[in-house]
Amino acid sequence: MADRIKILLISNYQSGVGGISGQVTELYNHLTEDGASVCVFTTKASMLMRLCLFFRLLLVSHQYDILHIHGCSYRGMLPIVYGVICGKCWRKRIIITYHGGEAAEYFAKHIHFVRKWLMKADERIVLSDFLKNIFDRYQIPCVVIPNIVSFASLNAKRMVVNPPIRFISVRHLRDLYNIPCILCAFEKVHRSVPNSTLQILGQGPLRSSLEQWVRKHGLTQNVVFVGQVPNTEISHYLSQSDVMLSAPHIDNMPVSVLEAMNAGVLVISSRVGGVPYIIDENRTGLFFADDNSDELAEKMIWAIEHSNDVQQLIDAAQIEVQKYKWDNIREKIYNVYGICLQ
């Protein structure tokens, strides 16, 4: 039973943010509600502190039955390496959940290192068939268990029939997420729909240059940089939006897309990585080619002009996203933990 186990969640965890940290928070909350004893151990620290963190993890981990490690490519391998060593030392059950859309490139370059550590786990979880295909290519066994979406608020909202229309972006302001593509597309749309607006949630090294671009193109009245928003508040911004724009060059299973689908917001995304595994094109959302701002703008205009069709996409997306709620994922998690639920 869940109330008899002790689980240590290990990751480069940062409270109040999305991505891996957001999923660790979701898992912590649900496991705790089930009666399990759960703790989160973060390996996020400066280079000087990481060695100290390893010895601290070694001391802490012996108290737990299961070490559930959340990692990804490049620096995201650190919690996997630390967690596996500690788990082997104390003979604990080791579970690894591998996140991120950069696995194909990373595995191709470092497959011997990756296999060495992933194969030491008792079970390996990936979030989508996109990642499973990469694991299969290198004969690394894994099970697919998708991200968890919080269903605190499910909105049956309708699109605005006439302009203005409210666009939103919920990604970090880094090269990977290609916010310039979104801005270029929005500028094109703004010429036809002057009262349309764009809210950009997130923080990152590109913020200053992006704000400068907006000023240069006279869009300061229509584009708002909100900055970093706590994960618990994102639903508030989604509830005030009509269309979410997502333009990453690489991605796996973005929770922001699932949250938008859940909130009754149309998603228009670049057709990359694992995103086509969660959006059924022209049924639950829309796609455009990577870095093609012209095609993105066309899809945005289409959404403005076809509100009834858009509502059908939204309705289908809200049904589709139900499979990501905890009730449909719970048993799969406990199976990899080696626990039979009664």
SS3 (DSSP) at 241? coil
For 205-250, write each residue's pLDDT tens digit.
999 999 999 999 999 999 999 999 988 899 999 999 999 999 999 9
Angle formed by the axes of helices 103-118 and 129-137, nearest 10°: 60
For 262-313, write each residue's pLDDT tens digit.
999 999 999 999 999 999 999 999 999 999 999 999 999 999 999 899 999 9
Highest mean pLDDT among 3-12, 151-160, 259-268: 259-268
SS3 (DSSP) at 185? helix
pLDDT tier at 52, thresholds 50, 70, 90: confident
Residues 6+ away with beta carbon under 8 Å from 158:
307, 311
| DSSP code for 76 | G
**pTM, full prediction:** 0.89
The secondary element (H helix, E strand) that includes residue 281 is none
pLDDT tier at 51, thresholds 50, 70, 90: confident
Per-residue confidence (pLDDT) for residue 342, from 0 to 100:
64
Q: What is the mean pLDDT of the chain?
A: 92
Is residue 1 pLDDT above 60, yes or no?
A: no
Per-residue confidence (pLDDT) for residue 157, from 0 to 100:
56
Length of the chain as a residue count: 342
Per-residue confidence (pLDDT) for residue 154, from 0 to 100:
47
Is residue 13 pLDDT above 90, yes or no?
A: no
